[in-house]
């Protein structure tokens, strides 16, 4: 009896990301529907960065399944490829690898009111688990460095040498180090923060985005 050593067809895949919910949806299709006749299931492979090797993520023993939702703990970056296998165990070549990157998210407020009213009294950046560190520096109009930190959230109470800084416009310079599909990447932010330190002062928070 002849032995079947012929692997089944390889499907094509697409990947879509949901950054807010931290999951990727992988879908696959066949150009020729007749290819399904020899398919018993699928093997889905994944790697988190381009520097890693693909590893088996899951095996699907149902040829009629055409979608897989991959939930992730921190960020959605990664690369995917898929193969098919038949009942004998022949496995097809891997599909073309598809990669998706993380969604950038880092925001520094442009208004800050350290005036003791328990509202907006701390300078806090909006960040995500992707940001490993920052190099943030804040200067007054005279060019004096009044605050610096590597903490992504910033967490500044508005003081310099033990006293709250005076009302004014301050300039910041910030390097952000963020995990991406290619590894740790750096991008630059700069801008102005309006600081209101008198009691009852301040127009509220207006967010500045990357």
User: pLDDT per residue over 121-178, tens digit each?
Assistant: 999 999 877 889 999 999 999 999 999 999 999 999 999 999 999 999 999 999 999 8
12-100 and 107-209 share one fold: yes
According to CATH, the topology of domain 12-100 is Immunoglobulin-like (2.60.40)
Write the CA distances from 158 to 5, 6, 7, 145, integer angstroms: 71, 69, 66, 13
Q: Domain 107-209: which CATH class?
A: mainly beta
Query: Among 66-70, 90-94, 204-208, which is the least confidently predicted range?
Result: 204-208
Write the CA distances from 198 to 191, 202, 205, integer angstroms: 22, 8, 16
Query: 139 forms bridges with which residues in the sheet?
Result: 145, 171
* Nearest alpha-carbon partner for 66 in 30, 21, 38: 30
At residue 118, the pLDDT reads 83
Q: DSSP string covering 76-101, please?
A: --EEEEEEEE-TT--BPPPPPPEEE-
- Domain edges within the chain: 12-100, 107-209
């Amino acid at each position: 009896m002849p032995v079947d050593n012929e692997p089944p067809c390889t499907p094509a895949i697409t990947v879509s990301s949901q950054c807010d919910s931290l999951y990727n949806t992988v879908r696959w299709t066949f150009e020729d529907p007749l290819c399904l006749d020899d398919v018993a299931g699928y093997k889905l492979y994944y790697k988190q960065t381009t520097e890693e090797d693909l590893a088996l993520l899951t095996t699907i023993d149902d040829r009629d399944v055409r979608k897989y939702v991959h939930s992730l703990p921190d960020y959605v970056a990664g690369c995917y490829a898929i193969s098919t296998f038949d009942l004998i165990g022949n496995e097809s070549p891997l599909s073309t690898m598809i990669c998706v990157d993380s969604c950038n998210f880092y925001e520094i407020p442009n208004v800050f009111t350290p005036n003791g009213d328990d509202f907006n009294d701390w300078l806090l950046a909006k960040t995500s688990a992707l940001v490993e560190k920052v190099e943030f520096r804040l200067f007054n109009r005279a060019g004096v460095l009044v605050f610096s930190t590597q903490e992504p959230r910033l967490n500044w109470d508005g003081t310099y040498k033990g006293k709250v800084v005076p009302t004014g416009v301050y300039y910041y310079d910030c390097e952000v180090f963020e995990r991406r599909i290619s590894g740790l990447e750096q991008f630059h932010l700069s801008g102005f923060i309006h600081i209101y330190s008198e009691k009852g002062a301040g127009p509220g928070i207006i967010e500045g985005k990357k």
